[in-house]
């Protein structure tokens, strides 16, 4: 692919000293281009047209190769910056280059100001958020904003400004230690120190993604991020078995229409394995020929799910278009539905915060949320012997490792599954 801006040595008449001018060529379109002199010249025989570099055999009377290369690179980068600014100002880059190159002192000062602003970490995070806004869900934007807030808190804690030069091994270890033991959370009237491991993991994950994006866009030079390790902790979560799902489905909620809509949407999720953003927004044009055709909101992957009788009944109840419910209201209402269904047994979950293991005991209904139905689908299908590859084709998991984190069956349930499989195998022959 032809470069839009590059260094060249034009053909033509030689100068008296046997040299030709090294120029910067900018191609705005296939037919519109500009060639601007750099002020440096060499004999054309010592210019490698293919690489766009000076031959290391250049005679010393024409200059030192390393010095010339450095100066030419600086001029090329400045020309590239000027083209970017021209496009940002929606003015013609060709005319802008003709007027402002070579750079005046006034332009140099302005460029330095813009460069300083462009290298502000938080300014760049805001740019990154706007860039990602059309690609990811609102919840992911919130995670990136949290990452930004965590950086600002660490900056206040250390009283050392964070720049792009800050992101080295020592920054990483100090930042993780701060998030693990020092970061303060306001929980009602209590101040809690330290974030959960998975929250720290998400912060590091998106910090790495942000820095790689800035490197790819050549806003900052390459930085080794291999030591930015992303933490991950196995999440305790419940699932509902088929008996429990059936109990919830049979509840008479006709006197509480909102609760009934939430229950129906939840059951739909249990029968399809979709994420909340997908099962709560089903439209009529996604249902045809006994199948449900969904383009997943998170991944944009296309999945097709056969309609079970109960799935079809729920969709027909709402004329094939599920009522819109926001996630906050949904999670509040579904807990009450689960309580009415009698899911009252106490369940204890543990997680790590700082250097402490935290235990929480709640009735099962209090652990039910919008994501429970997706875990329930994956676990129930797994226990029923459905091949993992087929479950993943519906759930949208990219790797088996990611999928298996959704399997919440206990040891007894897995043993019973093996027992059912063995009953259909010959075993030892008498």
Taking alpha carbons only, the member of 366, 376, 282, 279 closest to residue 327 is 279
Query: Cα 72 from chain centroid?
Result: 37
Task: Say what the pLDDT of residue 104 is.
Answer: 45
Q: The CATH number of 242-423 is which of 1.10.620.20, 1.10.443.10, 1.10.357.10, 1.10.579.10? A: 1.10.443.10
pTM passes above 0.85: no
Q: Are 341 and 251 a contacting pair, CB within 8 Å?
A: yes
Structure tokens at 212: 């790689």
Task: Say what the pLDDT of residue 87 is.
Answer: 86
| Cβ-proximal residues to 15 (8 Å cutoff; 6+ apart), any chain | 21, 41
Give the Cα separation of 76 and 46 in Å (integer): 19
Taking alpha carbons only, the member of 223, 182, 226 closest to residue 200 is 182
| Cβ-proximal residues to 115 (8 Å cutoff; 6+ apart), any chain | 81
Task: Say what the pLDDT of residue 2 is.
Answer: 57
Express each pLDDT in 136-170 by its tens digit: 777 789 999 999 999 999 999 999 999 998 999 99
Phi, psi of 159 (to 5 degrees): 60, 25
Express each pLDDT in 182-227 by its tens digit: 888 766 567 778 888 888 999 999 999 999 998 888 788 777 888 8
Task: Say what the pLDDT of residue 414 is.
Answer: 67
Task: Say what the pLDDT of residue 309 is.
Answer: 92
Long-range Cβ contact pairs of 306-312 (< 8 A, separation 24 or more) = 308/271, 310/249, 310/267, 310/271, 311/268, 311/271, 311/272
Residues of the chain with pLDDT under 50: 1, 104-109, 111-112
Beta bridge partners of 358: 351
Structure tokens at 261: 């809509």
Q: What does the domain layout of the chain look like in residue ranges? A: 5-102, 121-216, 242-423
Task: Say what the pLDDT of residue 339 is.
Answer: 95
Beta bridge partners of 24: 7, 36
| Cβ-proximal residues to 99 (8 Å cutoff; 6+ apart), any chain | none
Q: Are 337 and 266 a contacting pair, CB within 8 Å?
A: yes
Q: Are 46 and 58 a contacting pair, CB within 8 Å?
A: yes
Question: 318: which DSSP letter?
Answer: T
The H-or-E segment that residue 26 falls in is strand 20-27
Task: Say what the pLDDT of residue 203 is.
Answer: 95
């Amino acid at each position: 692919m032809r470069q839009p801006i590059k260094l060249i040595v034009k053909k033509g008449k030689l100068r008296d000293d046997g040299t030709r001018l090294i120029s910067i060529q900018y191609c705005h379109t296939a037919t519109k281009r500009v060639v601007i002199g750099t002020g440096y010249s060499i004999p054309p025989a010592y210019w490698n047209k293919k690489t766009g570099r000076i031959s290391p055999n250049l005679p010393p009377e024409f200059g030192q190769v390393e010095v010339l290369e450095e100066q030419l690179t600086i001029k090329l980068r400045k020309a590239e910056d000027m083209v970017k600014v021209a496009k940002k100002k929606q003015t013609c880059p060709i005319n802008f280059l003709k007027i402002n190159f070579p750079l005046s002192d006034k332009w140099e000062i302005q460029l330095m100001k813009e460069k300083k602003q462009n290298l502000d970490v938080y300014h760049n995070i805001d740019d990154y958020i706007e860039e990602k806004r059309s690609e990811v869900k609102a919840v992911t934007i919130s995670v990136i904003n949290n990452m930004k807030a965590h950086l600002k808190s660490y900056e206040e804690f250390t009283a050392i400004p964070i720049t792009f030069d800050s992101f080295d091994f020592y920054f990483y270890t100090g930042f993780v230690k701060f998030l693990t033991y020092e970061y303060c959370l306001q929980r009602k009237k209590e101040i809690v120190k330290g974030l959960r491991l998975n929250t720290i993991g998400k912060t590091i994950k998106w910090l790495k993604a942000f820095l790689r994006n800035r490197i790819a866009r050549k806003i900052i030079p390459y930085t080794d991020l291999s030591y930015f390790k992303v933490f991950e902790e196995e999440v305790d979560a419940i699932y509902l078995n088929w008996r429990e799902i059936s109990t919830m489905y049979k509840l008479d909620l006709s006197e509480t229409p909102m609760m009934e809509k939430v229950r129906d949407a939840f059951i739909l999720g249990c029968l399809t394995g979709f994420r909340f953003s997908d099962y709560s927004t089903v439209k009529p044009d996604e249902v045809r020929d006994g199948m449900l055709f969904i383009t997943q909101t998170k991944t944009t992957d296309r999945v097709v799910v056969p309609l079970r009788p109960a799935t079809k009944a729920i969709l027909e109840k709402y004329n094939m278009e599920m009522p819109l419910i926001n996630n906050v209201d949904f999670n509040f209402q579904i807990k009450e539905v689960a309580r009415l269904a009698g899911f009252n047994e106490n369940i204890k979950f543990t997680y790590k915060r700082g250097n402490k293991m935290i235990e929480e005991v709640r009735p099962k209904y209090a652990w039910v949320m919008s994501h429970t139905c997706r875990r329930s689908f994956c676990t129930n299908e797994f226990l029923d012997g459905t091949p993992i590859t087929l479950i993943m084709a519906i759930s949208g998991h990219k790797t088996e490792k990611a999928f298996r984190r959704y399997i919440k069956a206990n040891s007894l349930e897995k043993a019973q599954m093996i027992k059912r499989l063995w009953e259909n195998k010959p075993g030892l022959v008498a």
